Amino acid sequence: MYDLRSLRDLLPAIRDQLGSRGADVAWEEVEKLLQDRRDRTAQVEALRHQLKKGSDEVARLKRAKQPAEETVVAMRALRDNIAIQEEHLRAIEGELEEHALRIPNLPHDTVPQGTDASQNVEIRRWGEPPSFGFPPKPHWEIGESLGILDFKRAGKIAGTRFSMTLGAGAQLERALTSLMLDMHLHKHGYTEVLPPYLVNREAMIGTGQLPKFEHDLFHLRDDEYLLIPTAEVPVTNMYRDEILPDTALPIRHVASTPCFRREAGSYGQDTRGLIRLHQFHKVELVAFTTPEESYSELERLTNAAEAILQTLELPYRVVSLCRGDLGFATAKTYDLEVWIPSQQAYREISSCSNFETFQARRANIRFRPQGGKPAYLHTLNGSGVAVGRTTVAILENCQQDDGSVIIPTALRRYMNGVERIASNPAP
């Protein structure tokens, strides 16, 4: 979110820095509105100055016991005109704010140049992709043959892009959630939050989903509520319109929630399996910190998400998103991509981002430095990690030639000692 002063003073620089990321911003309209605001502001200020002089003249006339009625009438008309002009100014500023909400965040200087995902920069890899003595199966075939995934019945209940896990599959997702929460709570120092799954429009505006991504969200028909696309929304908005003491920072929260996404524009992509669904579960990490510490916090948060994949012994890589692939609200993002054998490719399982002051401005979240004035803090978040996609990675990387799946060692205590999911077809 940009304040109107920043837009007035820095519009050409902002437009240049955003490049193709700002392609759908109505720059010419913004420029016109900024000029209209300048002109209208100057007009209002001139009228106020005229009013002050007139008021002083009325006072002088009254002190001199001279007729002042004509000047008083003129000043009343002037006040009415000022009120009209101020109303016009507020309307212009309202339009400008609507446009400002649609302008993406500026990329950090360390973000790689590039126009799309093919130009993202690999930072590191962990683990070796497994070798199989047989053609690896996709996770949906594995899950259906084991009787732990049922897409047909989920479709009957809800429609396409929904799934249903059964038996050991449901237990696996619950175990993954427990392991992730325990690690983030006890090893990484996050505080757990169980937030609402329905939020108001102000919350979605605060984190950047609205107004730009209206069509990606699920709305309630009769109420002004929306289903959360990620726990980032309610957890970040916990501190909306608050000023936090600097001694409270950093604040680190973790939340496990269902996520709901319309996946508008994704038709034809990942139509089978668990990769791209309308409903899925995710463990989310959210942090609030000072501007000076936010990039070290980004590394810490990313390492916390990586630790989950390392504990599960899942091969992955970390990539830094280039400027053309950055999300709308982020200043810098690392994607964690886990190896998917059936696709012979790494696929995203977590995005870890620093938003700098972008969300804090929209949600009005500030901190007070000792002895200083309130300032906007920096917000960060990342998946720690997506539960469904972790299930995909386990089913595919740990599959055996007899169709069974080995449970990662660290996960077994969360599954009552189960070491392997063997074939048990559902009826």
CB 352 within 8 A of CB 364: no
User: Read out DSSP for 337-350?
Assistant: EEEEGGGTEEEEEE
Q: Exactly one of 21, 37, 40, 261 is catalytic; which is it? A: 261
CB 240 within 8 A of CB 365: yes
User: Alpha-carbon distance 366 to 179, whole Å?
Assistant: 33
Does the active-site annotation cover 348? Answer: yes
Does the active-site annotation cover 276? Answer: yes
Tell which residue, 203, 198, 180, 199, has the closest CA to residue 190.
Answer: 180
Alpha carbon distances (Å) from 321 to 146, 201, 252, 328, 420: 37, 28, 24, 12, 36
User: Alpha-carbon distance 75 to 416, whole Å?
Assistant: 83
CB 38 within 8 A of CB 8: yes
What are φ and ψ of residue 279, in 5° steps?
-140, 130
Q: Exactly one of 294, 320, 351, 353 is catalytic; which is it? A: 351
Tell which residue, 353, 357, 307, 347, has the closest CA to residue 330.
Answer: 353
Alpha carbon distances (Å) from 154 to 2, 174, 262, 389: 43, 19, 16, 18
> Which DSSP letter does residue 399 get?
B
Q: Exactly one of 141, 383, 389, 396 is catalytic; which is it? A: 389
Q: Exactly one of 317, 348, 368, 412 is catalytic; which is it? A: 348
Does the active-site annotation cover 293? Answer: no
Does the active-site annotation cover 317? Answer: no
Q: Where are the beta strands (DSSP E) in 313-391?
A: 316-320, 332-340, 345-356, 365-368, 375-376, 378-386
Q: Which residue has the tokens 């003491």?
A: 245
One-letter amino acid for residue 396 of the chain: E
Does the active-site annotation cover 252? Answer: no
Token digits for 3?
A: 């304040």
User: Alpha-carbon distance 152 to 139, whole Å?
Assistant: 15
Within 10 angstroms of residue 314's Cβ, the number of other Cβ atoms is 24
Q: Exactly one of 48, 79, 276, 412 is catalytic; which is it? A: 276
Q: What is the helix (H) or strand (E) element at residue 132, kind and residue range?
A: none
Q: What is the helix (H) or strand (E) element at residue 127, kind and residue range?
A: none
User: Alpha-carbon distance 126 to 383, whole Å?
Assistant: 18
What are φ and ψ of residue 349, in 5° steps?
-125, -15
One-letter amino acid for residue 79 of the chain: R
List residues with catalytic annotation.
261, 276, 348, 351, 389
